[in-house]
Amino acid sequence: MNKRLGVLTGGGDAPGLNAVIRAVTRSALRQGWEVIGFLDGYAGLIENRNVILTSNYISGLLHRGGTILGSNNRDNPFHFPVPSEHGIEYRDMSDQAVANLKSNNIDCLIAIGGDGSLAIAHELAQKGARVIGVPKTIDNDLPATDQTFGFDTAVTTATDALDKLHTTAESHHRVMILELMGRDAGWIALVSGIAGGADIILIPEIPWQLDNVIAKIKERQNEGKHFSIAVVAEGVKDPTGKFVVRQHIPTAHTKIRLGGIGPVLAQLIEETTSIECRATVLGHLQRGGSPSASDRVLATRYGVKAAQLAMDGQHGLMVCLKGQDIESVPLDLVARGTRTVPPDSQLVQTARALGICLGD
């Protein structure tokens, strides 16, 4: 019997997932291995729902967004929802997940995901499963890698939105605010804000004050610039120091769903200055669409490296980008916190040198 790799995509979707699946499969098939794709993240592994990935199955995937295998950010094998006579109960189904890997003769599972999905992968590895992790998130907030695939496409989408907001802001002499994803990290907001010519960028890593934001807007008015563009990350706290929460989800890996700081900031600016202000929440547009060329290449390199490690008999690792090279690190490193923007980083210094207000 041929040796087999398993692959699944977990957590939120991101441009480039299909590119990883394609790279893993093509690399393995060329070495005489088979590849089994588990459907809908860890749910497919627990319920043994899978497909055999052939050369024809993965044809035409490189430019496609989303994931042909499906994904979710709810089904944790160690806390899995199971229907019962009392409604939904949560049980530890991790033994079933490991058993299904064995029954399908999977030599190594390649788990593509963010912090939650890779933390689960590490827990499965501790139960004896052979696992290789591939870092994915548009937020770019995973430790032990210089960049995750999906990030570049999200930044490109946000920058395009800022280009469009510029024209309407200038026409109507408004303050236009763009709220972006990122959770506790401000990477998308900072990079797209610089690329999109924002005047104000607020990120979770740098505390801000409303007076400083207002001062920047008035400074521009005094210079004859009767519009301003502000970018704000969803994880930025309001002036009272509280997160703006859109939804509470007790059963999810991330218990709160952030969102709404953009409209809050718009209202504060209007109340303080009487300047017309509009907020746009870009939301899931940042997750969708065809991956950028950069993300296609990075995702492909990750997939090839993951397959090579697995076929070489290595496991318990996560592939990563270090400088210009694809390397690997112990999988448990992903559980060691969030990679946030250093307040004294060169990117922050670049923004300050341009006169961009960071709120502090």
- For residue 80, the domain's CATH number is 3.40.50.450
Residue 244 sits in the same domain as residue 272? yes
Give φ, ψ of 7 to 5 degrees.
Answer: -145, 140
- What pLDDT score was predicted for residue 246? 73
Q: Which residues are marked as active site? A: 139
Give the global pTM: 0.93
Residue 162 sits in the same domain as residue 283? yes
- Domain total for the chain? 2
Q: What is the pLDDT of residues 333-343, one digit of tens each?
A: 886 778 999 99
Which is more confidently placed, 73 or 348? 348
Q: What is the pLDDT of residues 298-331, one digit of tens each?
A: 999 999 999 999 999 999 999 999 999 999 999 9
Q: What is the pLDDT of residues 167-189, one digit of tens each?
A: 999 888 999 999 999 989 999 99
β pairing state of 34-38 and 50-52: antiparallel
Residue 143 sits in the same domain as residue 15? yes
Q: Whole-angstrom Cα distance, residue 288 to residue 296?
A: 14
Q: Which of 183, 300, 319, 158 is nearest to 244 (CA)?
A: 183
Q: Whole-angstrom Cα distance, residue 236 to residue 83?
A: 38
Q: Whole-angstrom Cα distance, residue 158 to residue 191?
A: 9
Structure-block tokens of residue 308: 């090579």
Does a structural domain hold residue 330? Answer: no
- What pLDDT score was predicted for residue 6? 98
pLDDT exceeds cutoff 60 at 251: no
Predicted confidence band of residue 21 (pLDDT cuts 50, 70, 90): very high
Residue 96 sits in the same domain as residue 179? no
Q: Whole-angstrom Cα distance, residue 306 to residue 338?
A: 22
Query: Domain span at residue 313?
Result: 4-149+291-323
Predicted confidence band of residue 274 (pLDDT cuts 50, 70, 90): confident
Q: Whole-angstrom Cα distance, residue 137 to residue 192?
A: 16
Residue 26 sits in the same domain as residue 136? yes
Mean pLDDT of the chain: 94
Predicted confidence band of residue 73 (pLDDT cuts 50, 70, 90): confident
